[in-house]
């Protein structure tokens, strides 16, 4: 599960997008809270490394 604070939502970020891109399963939710399937152990490092790019910080 990912959550986003008010400052993040006012900048236009949407946590359901990275959930759908990174986590196995369909995933989804709203702009400020979303959940998806689990991350296979062999993909965990890559998923964590990709988070900054998805939130516009990398």
Q: Is the pLDDT of residue 58 over 70?
A: no
Q: What is the tens place of the pLDDT at every residue in 3-56?
A: 888 888 888 888 887 787 777 656 678 888 888 877 888 988 988 888 788 767
Strand partners, 29: 34
Rounded to whole angstroms, what are the CA distances from 31 to 10, 28, 40, 43?
10, 9, 24, 24
pTM of the model: 0.56
pLDDT value at residue 53:
80
pLDDT value at residue 26:
67
């Amino acid at each position: 599960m990912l959550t986003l604070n008010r400052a993040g939502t006012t900048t236009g970020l949407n946590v359901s997008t990275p959930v759908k891109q990174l986590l196995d399963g369909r995933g989804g939710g709203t702009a400020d809270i979303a959940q998806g399937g689990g991350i296979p152990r062999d993909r965990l490092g890559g998923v964590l490394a990709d988070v900054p790019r998805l939130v516009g910080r990398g």
